Structure 1
Amino acid sequence: MASVTSLGIGSGLNVEDIITSLMKVENRPVESLQTKAAGINAKISAFGALTSAMSSFQSAAVTLAGIGTWNAMNGSSSNSSAVSATTSTGASAGNYAVEVQALATAQSISSKSYTSATSSVGSGTLKIDIGNWNSDNTTFTANSSNKTLSVEVTAADTLTTLRDKINALGSGVNASILNDASGARLVINSRDTGTDNGFRITATDGDGTNTDNTGLSALAYDPPNATSATTLRQSGSNAQATINGLPVSSASNTLSNVVEGVTLTLGAKTTSAVSVSISADTDKIKKALTTFTEAYNSLATLLSTQTKYDADSQTAGALQGDSTAVSLQRQLRNLVGASTPASSVYQTLSSVGVTLQADGTLAVDNTKFDTALKSNMGEVRKLFTATDLTNSSRSGIGTQLRKFSDSVLSVQGALTSRTESLNQSLSRNDTETSKAEARVADVEKRLRAQYAALDTKMSSLTALNTYITNQIEAWNKA
């Protein structure tokens, strides 16, 4: 409507009030459609929240029904600083006595003392071979799988720049500078531990002599063939241990799959056996159950809130009476309260301490669940994870709930289909609202045109009436 109008001046009628009153009646279908749209939007929002809650529940059900959760193992040690244990796929329960006779070490050498880290080291070429020294360092056997590493050294190079060039090789060895009371030393270590990861350094010295202690040759390490100012600080060696009396040798202090699915990390020599125990990771199982019940309870509470009528506030949930929501609520309760022949010992969730409450949520008796795990974990596993491809009702409860959540969240599932249907209804409502608003606008335009014509006519009649009245008055005076 126009904010400023002259309608009614000619007729003397309060046209704006008349039109406003008439348009309130005409606008009722639009208001009805808008109210309907608000209801549809509320349902779409509610189903969006249900979809999110169902997705969380699906994820929790997948974990609880997953074999990986129930097959997970946990490693413990009576002396974890000496021997620690971690598990992976394939680990089996067992107990092991581990004794560590020696830790794996990396070869390490140090140069003679230089005035500072910026001291010149000579010029020429250093060649580094990776391989194995014999016990008294009189014989070196290069690994055929490793190529000789070469470092070109110029007269401008110092301990610092030589260190950087060695480290730039990226494999085999690494270098660092150690500063002590006598000056700076170049320290070179094998990157990996073990006897097969030792190294030999030979020099082609720019001063023409490759075997003395001056120039670049002072940094060589090849005891059988030349004397050198470079000193062996530690030989590369393998770790030595026994596991249940079986001798084990390893190039590293990490023993992977010596026991299948178990990684033992050696941290110190021992004087007596360390007890390592591999057992079922019940904490992981209990965490999966806790997450599952929390996700279920969130979903159940949301369904209850959205479908109930609150007598006190006289308000109904957005999904009260919605057949899809009510059906989901009923199916969930039936599944968690059902029995299954998947286990010969535990047929229901309540038999292991997971019970359905009056308000539709689940409660866990941790003591009862722990007892079931300790007494017969295999049957508890069946209750949750068993799968019967021919008859789903014979599958474990966890598997049934996982499949249920998969189905309602699928492309043609109940939640997806209902949300799509509501969006289509909203689209149709928007179209009807636009048409109704157009009809209302046409009616208002027509009314304004009619009242404008009335004003014009009434103005004309008023002017004629005034003329006649004036004429009569003039005649009477004459």
Structure 2
Amino acid sequence: MASISSLGIGSGLDLNGLLDQLYVAERSKLEPIGQQIESQQVKISAYGELKGALSAFHDATQALNENALYQSLSTSISGDAVQAAADGEASPGRYDVSVDTLATAGSIATQRVDGLDTVLTEADSELNLTFADAELNQRVTIEAGSTLQDVRDAINADPQAAVNASVINDGSGYRLALMSKQSGSDATLLATDFAEMASDATLTDVTIAQAGQNATFSVNGISIESATNQVDDAIQGVVLDLQSTGQSSLLVEEDTQPAREGIDSFITAYNELKSTAGRLTAFNGEEGQAGELIGDSTVRIIESRLRSDLGNELGGEEGYQRLDELGISLSVDGRLELDEQKLDAALAESPAAVGAFFLGADEADGLAGRLDATLSQLLDEDGALESAVSGAENRIESLGDRYQLMEQRIDTTIARYQTQFGQLDAMLAQMNQTSAYLTQQLGMLDAQMGGGMSGQ
């Protein structure tokens, strides 16, 4: 509000100062509304913090609802003959692997050509590639005027040619080297008609061929043959990568570490949620400070539903039925406490039984599935948390309307005061003028009366 500098000139009163004081007094009526708006904004921020902690617990809960978590296997190997990896279909056990030969790819080096610029074909022709497995046989089109490098490029550009081609200098000339893309005896390249195709060039020496071979090895004394060194069907659920000839022992064991880490994350996430809720609803009597959500019903609803899910039995007939049977219990302050030895013993005895407790028969009716359903409802757009945020936003909007209306009323009131003060200033100015006139007239009258008396 801008002060009117002319106020008070006529009366001599500090009407501008008085009007400013009235303006401040009227504006103070807005403070309670502003404080309420700020309170609701703080609540929305607190709800966001609570939602973050709730979402983190939801993520940890969903991780416990994964079947693979309780079927993890680890492999340990002694010896350099093989490397291995196991999946959920593998069976724990010891496997002795003896590698006799590794799978290799066959190759052929063609007859020697004197120079790289030697033209091999004057007309379009074909290079026939013949394999041990006739299904791999292929004819590669070679254009007229092709050199050895052109033949190489044509072979490599043909997606159906089951070889990789290169040019090798053997010290006396150049050869086309063809290596089978696949290892094993069936993928061996037996022959080419390179000499017939390159009939326009002078070729020397002979074709050099090296046959491909299968890998031969044994697992626990059982002989196995494979066209490749990566074998995924010798031991169910185990991929063997043959590295060298020799002996290796493979030990496949149940790995409880992923399940243990998942449960630890679950406990940590819940306790952090509990700490966040506790801080937001706490009251510090010594400092007189209250949490942003103290007494908030939404927090009570969330805590009550989660406490119910965590504390109730599953209701099954077999296996674990309560968290405390796994060494996880609710403490007096509502946090989860862990008996590490009890949990480790349960995982060591039967990871599947621990998994059944969290997963349930159909990955929906275990503890993790039950919590997942509850948390999904709480975090849903129509859930308790979003409803609370929407309620706070609606109150802010309503309070904003009240604030605006109150400002308009204050401006109207101050405008009325200003008009009245202007009228008062004018009236007092007129009264001052009248008073001065009367004082002047009375002075003159007094002077006249005094002069007359002295003449007598």
Q: Distance in 1 between matches of 2:333 and 2:110?
A: 77
User: How far off is 1:420 after superposition?
Assistant: 2.2
Q: Which residue of 1 aligns with 2:134?
A: 142
- Name the SS of the counterpart of 2:405 in structure 1: helix
1:321 and 2:311 are equivalent in the alignment: no
Structure 2's unaligned 5+ residue stretches are 449-456
1:408-433: per-residue Cα shift (whole Å, max 9, x none)? 12232222222222222222222222
Aligned runs of 1:248-327 on 2, under 5 Å? 248-270=224-246, 272=247, 274-327=248-301
Q: 1:10 to 1:284 in 2, by over 3 A?
A: same
Identity %: 29
Aligned runs of 1:430-441 on 2, under 5 Å? 430-441=400-411
Under a length normalisation based on structure 2, what TM-score does the superposition of the two structures give? 0.83
Aligned runs of 1:349-368 on 2, under 5 Å? 349-368=323-342
Q: Which residue of 2 aligns with 1:221?
A: none
Matching residue's letter, 1:105:
T
Q: Which residue of 1 aligns with 2:61?
A: 61
User: How far off is 1:294 after superposition?
Assistant: 1.7
Matching residue's letter, 2:296:
D
Q: Which residue of 1 aligns with 2:428?
A: 458
2:355 to 381, 394, 404: 381
Q: 1:38 to 1:129 in 2, by over 3 A?
A: farther
1:371 to 345, 348, 355: 345
2:213 to 237, 254, 274: 237
Moved more, 357-366 or 279-288: 357-366
1:84 and 2:83 are equivalent in the alignment: yes
Under a length normalisation based on structure 1, what TM-score does the superposition of the two structures give? 0.80
Q: Which has the larger radius of gyration?
A: 2
1:242-261: per-residue Cα shift (whole Å, max 9, x none)? 33444333322222244333
1:112-161: per-residue Cα shift (whole Å, max 9, x none)? 78899xx425343685666633xxxxxxx5326x7534354746x574x6
CA RMSD of the aligned region, Å?
3.5
Matching residue's letter, 1:192:
Q
Q: Distance in 2 between matches of 1:250 and 1:97?
A: 17
- Name the SS of the counterpart of 1:197 in structure 2: coil
Q: Distance in 2 between matches of 1:405 and 1:265?
A: 44
Q: Distance in 1 between matches of 2:225 and 2:318?
A: 46
User: How far off is 1:324 after superposition?
Assistant: 1.3
Structure 1's unaligned 5+ residue stretches are 134-140, 215-227
Q: 1:463 to 1:306 in 2, by over 3 A?
A: same
User: How far off is 1:35 after superposition?
Assistant: 0.9
- Name the SS of the counterpart of 1:276 in structure 2: strand
Q: 1:184 to 1:24 in 2, by over 3 A?
A: farther
Matching residue's letter, 1:8:
G
Q: Distance in 1 between matches of 2:113 and 2:195?
A: 20
User: How far off is 1:111 after superposition?
Assistant: 6.0
Q: Which residue of 1 aligns with 2:45?
A: 45
Q: 1:287 to 1:163 in 2, by over 3 A?
A: farther
User: How far off is 1:231 after superposition?
Assistant: 2.9
Q: Distance in 2 between matches of 1:347 and 1:328?
A: 23
State whether residues 240 and 249 of structure 1, in contact with CA within 8 Å, keep that contact through their aligned partners in structure 2: yes
State whether residues 105 and 237 of structure 1, in contact with CA within 8 Å, keep that contact through their aligned partners in structure 2: yes
Q: 1:349 to 1:457 in 2, by over 3 A?
A: same
- How many equivalent pairs are there? 444
Matching residue's letter, 2:134:
A
Matching residue's letter, 1:325:
V
- Name the SS of the counterpart of 2:350 in structure 1: helix
Q: Distance in 2 between matches of 1:367 and 1:176?
A: 62
